Amino acid sequence: MSLLATIISLSFLLFTRIMDNEGGFYSEIISYKIGYWLWLASSLTMLIGNTITYFSKPAQLSVSLGRDKDKLIRKTKPDGIKTS
């Protein structure tokens, strides 16, 4: 999804005009100011973060998840008495 968001935000560089309101009126794009560049930067940041997460070693992820998983699961006997 972050790739799609980045592509959509980059696609606005190809347009010369954009729909301005619900009435279907168009306005010319005369410059790209800080709001656009921050929007693009946020999409790129998410894309980079997702790419790093996707290609990181699975063993490192499973170890960190395994520790948290052990803390969250409490074993109980059939009679309802908790065990350690």
pTM, 2 dp: 0.59
CA 15: distance to chain centroid? Answer: 25
Q: Looking at this protein, which amino acid is placed at residue 13?
A: L
The string of pLDDT tens digits covering residues 19-58 is 988 898 999 999 999 999 999 999 999 999 999 998 886 6
Q: Which domain holds residue 52?
A: 2-72
- In the predicted model, is pLDDT for residue 1 greater than 70? yes
Which among 77, 73, 84, 8 has a CA at the least distance from the CA of 47? 8
Query: Would you state the pLDDT for residue 55?
Result: 87
The string of pLDDT tens digits covering residues 53-76 is 988 866 555 555 555 555 555 555
In-domain check, residue 55:
yes
Domains held by the chain: number: 1
In-domain check, residue 81:
no
In-domain check, residue 30:
yes
In-domain check, residue 15:
yes
In-domain check, residue 79:
no
